[in-house]
Amino acid sequence: MHSQLSPTPFLPTRAVIRSIIPMSTDNYLFQFRIDEPGDLVNCAPGQFVQLWIPGAGEAPISVCSGEIDGVLELCVRKTGRVTDALFNLNEGDWVGIRGPYGTGFPVDEYRGKDLVLIAGGLGIAPVRSLLQYVLNHREEFGKLTLIYGMRHSQQLLFRQELKVLLRRQDMHVYIAAEEVVGPDLPSVSWQLGRVTDMIKLAEIDEGFLSAICGPPVMYKFVVAELLKKGLKDNNIWLSLERHMKCAVGKCGHCFVGGTFTCREGPVFRMDTLRFLPEVIECS
């Protein structure tokens, strides 16, 4: 499932914006049509691409779609130079995309096992690519639980998709916010609290494997709860974001604890991170 680097890793391919779907005030889902996807067709859930906006620069963005068949989806937060420039574009405009890069989630290890996917905030973007993959091959996986948390209910992304998921009989979905407000609440079964509270509630045992992506502050607490449920370090995978520039192990921007996170990450297994205390705070 893991793809090889393109023989021309610095060369972006042209991607035309097919549609722009607002998800919240500062998070939009961009769907791109890519006529020459190259290695992108072999993209594994959890990998990322380098998004290039001419005149603005490049930024790493997680692939958000399960399998890429001419259309690539990226869920982007407007946060700085490159993402601001993307938000100024319209349908029909083009950008450059190179990749995919990094390690993805270990789909082959997950196959046949019970799975808990845990996302905090925008961490839902790479988790969604794995979720879509699992749902497209549902009979190949065991029990499936999705836990998705955010600070405020208005930050919920993929609202319509989650409503559909909540009705499925073959998975459990927990959606948690620390603050739930608003007259326009959809028929989403909100839980008040954090993802860690949802892990306590969920029927997860030592047989589960996990995939986690969220803000760095979340990891220590999520891992601690999973360990209490009986999971071992080698059943826990986390996707980590570091500052990146080249994405191919050349510039050193992402180098931490002797590791190029652009090449050896962003997805790491927890037992390997125990030896990289600078990457996340391990208890």
Binding site for ligand FES (CB under 6 A): 244-247, 249-254, 260, 262
User: Least distance from C-beta 122 to ligand FES, angstroms?
Assistant: 19
User: Least distance from C-beta 238 to ligand FAD, angstroms?
Assistant: 12
Query: Looking only at residues 55 through 114 of this chain, which bind ligand FAD when binding is defined by CB under 6 A?
Result: 59-62, 75-77, 79-83
Q: By rule CB under 6 A, what count of residues binds ligand FAD?
A: 19
Please identify which residue in 14, 242, 245, 269 interacts with ligand FAD, judged by CB under 6 A.
242
Residue 123 interacting with ligand FAD (CB under 6 A): no
User: Least distance from C-beta 200 to ligand FAD, angstroms?
Assistant: 28
Distance of alpha carbon 94 from alpha carbon 15, whole angstroms:
5
Residue 150 interacting with ligand FAD (CB under 6 A): no
Contacted by 62, from ligand FAD, ligand FES, none: CB < 5 to 8 Å by type? ligand FAD
Residue 212 interacting with ligand FAD (CB under 6 A): no
User: Least distance from C-beta 257 to ligand FES, angstroms?
Assistant: 13
Contacted by 249, from ligand FAD, ligand FES, none: CB < 5 to 8 Å by type? ligand FES
Residue 215 interacting with ligand FAD (CB under 6 A): no
Contacted by 14, from ligand FAD, ligand FES, none: CB < 5 to 8 Å by type? none
Contacted by 80, from ligand FES, ligand FAD, none: CB < 5 to 8 Å by type? ligand FAD
Counting every residue, how long is the chain? 283
Contact at 8 Å (CB) between 212 and 224? no
Residue 244 interacting with ligand FAD (CB under 6 A): yes
